[in-house]
Amino acid sequence: IISVILTSALFAFPCLGYAAEYTDLDKSNECYEAASRLRDFGIMGGYEDGSFRPDKTITRAEVARLVTSALGADKTYEEYLHQTPPYEFSDVPASHWAYKYITYLTISGWLDGYEDGTFRPDNEITYAELTKILVDITGYSIYAGPNGGYPSGYIISAASLGITEGVDFENNDNATRSDAAIMLNNALDVPLVLVVGFEMSEAGIPYHVYEVQDGEGAQYQTLLTKLHDIYKVNITAEDEITNDSEQ
């Protein structure tokens, strides 16, 4: 008889076990756990031939798709498409496969483009660009901006939050699918920074009050808990085998 003592009242359901493995990943691969977890959560998948292709670089458009899923908006983004985005990209027409994701993220304030009005969706994304997006969606841009801005402030923030744990890179190098999976997977467990109210400055100007959601119960929120209703649970199992008839 196994007696399971739950140390949290929150359950991650459904209980997720890794699905069929990718043909080109095994447990010795550095991104195996991240890639498997993201697939089980429906955030990042592989290719039709069953491969993950960890060493392949990842484009800005592909990251837009992944971030939309990480934000839990892959089924609700169409609600935003009737809105006029703050700006439209000359190289992302409505016929582009990633238009809906890029438009949603632009309207939501998570993505921007280049000064010439382009988004360059087919460009490989750099580690610096990917890091900025992940810091933004977890709410820590309010700290990254004053601490050096882009890219140094974001790189520092990402490192302190554990987003870049397990990844070695140069800022302007192109990110691989393996590293993108690891970084995104790390970001899912970062306590979010959320607006919790407003205050007035001495000049009478209102400003947001932010708070890191790293408390207990409802005061602990991550991308997984807030947007996917998935929770981590710490459990302790104790063996209590009393006799053969009960085993």
pLDDT tens digits along 193-241: 998 888 887 787 887 889 999 988 778 999 999 988 988 777 766 655 5
- What does the pLDDT read at residue 244? 52
Residue type present at position 43? I
- Residues 6 or more apart whose CB falls under 8 angstroms from that of 139 comprise 192, 193, 194, 210
Q: Are 1 and 240 in contact (CB under 8 A)?
A: yes
Residues of the chain under the 70 pLDDT cut: 1-20, 75, 80, 85-86, 236-247
- What does the pLDDT read at residue 243? 53
